[in-house]
Amino acid sequence: MHLPADKIQRALLTTSSVIKVPLSTTAPSDAIQAPDNYVGFGFETAFINDYANTFTLNLLNSVGKRLGTVPTIRIGGTSGDRVTFDESQEEIKVCIEGDCPIGSAASYILGPSYFDGFKYFEDFGITFQAPLGADLNVSNAEIYVSRAYEQVKDLVAIAIGNEPDLYSTQYGVDYKLGQYVNDSQTIITHVSETLGFDEGDRVFEVLDFASNKPSFDLINVFEDNLYNSTNVKLAAWHWYQLSTDYTTSEELQTYLMNHTAITTHFEPLKSQIAYLKKNDSSISFVLSETGSGTQSSIEIQGGFGAALWCIDFQLYSLSQGVSRVDATHRPAAFHSYWVPDDSAGTINPGPQVRAVWYALPFIADFLGQSPGKVSEIDLQSDTLAAYAIYNSSSNDVSRLAIINLQTWVNGDGSGSSRGSENVSVPVPSGVSSVYVRRLQSAAGAFAMGFDYAGPAENVTWAGEQWSYSIDQGKGHRVEGVSEKETYSVSDGVFEIQIQDSEALSIEF
């Protein structure tokens, strides 16, 4: 449901009893050191050129300047297994079969100009995908990899295929784990010879699985001899929180804006991460393709509720040992954080910044340019989540994030006022005041942002707003919205109110 502008109005806050946040002012022993490039991005293989514009660069740089290094961009996806190359083709790409012309599950012929899109992102780390598919064509994989490699200045990894655990369904064949392992080893060998990689050069990303099939998991793959490859740098998994069509605020609350739904979804990955840590800690575990969902309404997938989900999902994943999360994009995908152009037409209008975007600068600011150690604070709640970050040297707490996932939708006809939670937080000794920055929208969980719905559905992070129509994605301060608030500490604690459908970052 899209909320008409004339039904948006700020509701009065209601208060509740005080919730005490059990914050440790020094880092717990299991706190995870955050990588400086944790916040990543992803563009579907066939559509990289749609993102090669100033609008996209402005958004990427807006996150990058908050991090300790340049972000990583993953170029991959379903289309990446279905591309072929025609040296004489003048067009960037030609869609020949499947869900043409804007779908990921389609087959595309690429022309030489396609690879110019990589040049646009030469200042960023790049992971790109070697085509695999159920019927391995080594020469086709070598052509794509060689052409892409020529344009990449900062190679993070070369991924081998996309979601091979789904090949049996996608290609109508019986594709087993052993074939994937053999195909992966074949590509590693041929690409290493073609590009001059030595044994021990860790440049390959493997798995990129979509599901948790017992026969397709990290442990089985590595036990089946792929572990012996010293060229593997990253083991990747994909994550979409929602796999079914949801539209209502009740479904949003149950399946997306719900901490327990996130942690339950994550549970099967813990054994995979633990295996790598025990057997080869030089291989990092990443979530290389992620999104709020694949089928739900645009207000569910791209709205403000999805931004709050994303913060909780990414920080929880970090606290469990994930090394990077790539926020995935395709112009026609409702879960995209921004739409780069008008190529999807009325299906997904653009260029636009979407409300879900705001999660990324929030997370980047929370981690900072010198990331520390991150730990989840378990509040035993479906709708309230918290994370602390500690200085890597002193182990002192430096920031606290609190996400109120309680769904509130203005103008939904219920007449309910916006609720809130009062929380009490202990602070380190000697601290007399704290600074608070808010991620907020007066329209609530279904807000879509200025570009999609106008000023009534504005979203701001620490008083900043992003818009294609206003600033080309550079970001600007919004008059009347504070960057940060100062709160006094009394007897070693401070109390603060957090609205339903809001997130806070607190600096000590």
CATH of the domain at 120: 3.20.20.80
Q: What is the mean pLDDT of the chain?
A: 93
Q: How confident is the model at residue 356 (pLDDT cuts 50, 70, 90)?
A: very high
**Average pLDDT estimate for 282-293:** 97
Look at residue 3 and tell me whether its pLDDT is greater than 70.
no
DSSP symbol at 100: T
pLDDT at position 413 is 58
Question: Tens digits of per-residue pLDDT, 93-127?
Answer: 999 999 999 999 999 999 999 999 999 999 999 99
pLDDT at position 225 is 67
21 with 40, same domain: the answer is no
170 with 56, same domain: the answer is yes
Domain boundary (342, 371, 400) is at 371
20 with 111, same domain: the answer is no
CATH of the domain at 406: 2.60.40.1180
379 with 365, same domain: the answer is no
Count of residues in the chain: 508
412 with 306, same domain: the answer is no
402 with 284, same domain: the answer is no
Residue-by-residue DSSP string for 416-433: PPP-EEEEEEE--TT--E
Domain boundary (320, 341, 371) is at 371
Q: How confident is the model at residue 13 (pLDDT cuts 50, 70, 90)?
A: very low
Number of domains in the chain: 2
Question: Tens digits of per-residue pLDDT, 243-285?
Answer: 899 999 999 999 999 999 999 999 999 999 999 999 989 999 9
275 with 392, same domain: the answer is no
Q: How confident is the model at residue 4 (pLDDT cuts 50, 70, 90)?
A: very low
How far apart are alpha carbons 139 and 85 in whole angstroms?
Answer: 11
414 with 363, same domain: the answer is no
Strands 476-477 and 464-465: antiparallel
Domain boundary (304, 339, 371) is at 371
75 with 19, same domain: the answer is no
Q: Could you tell me where the beta strands, DSSP code E, fall in 123-242?
A: 125-130, 155-160, 204-209, 232-242
Q: How confident is the model at residue 10 (pLDDT cuts 50, 70, 90)?
A: very low
313 with 173, same domain: the answer is yes
Question: Tens digits of per-residue pLDDT, 445-501?
Answer: 999 999 999 999 999 999 999 999 999 999 999 999 999 999 999 999 999 999 999
Q: Which residues span the domain enclosing 9?
A: 5-28+375-507
The tokens of 122 are what? 């030469």
Look at residue 7 and tell me whether its pLDDT is greater than 60.
no
294 with 212, same domain: the answer is yes
How far apart are alpha carbons 141 and 150 in whole angstroms?
Answer: 14
45 with 176, same domain: the answer is yes
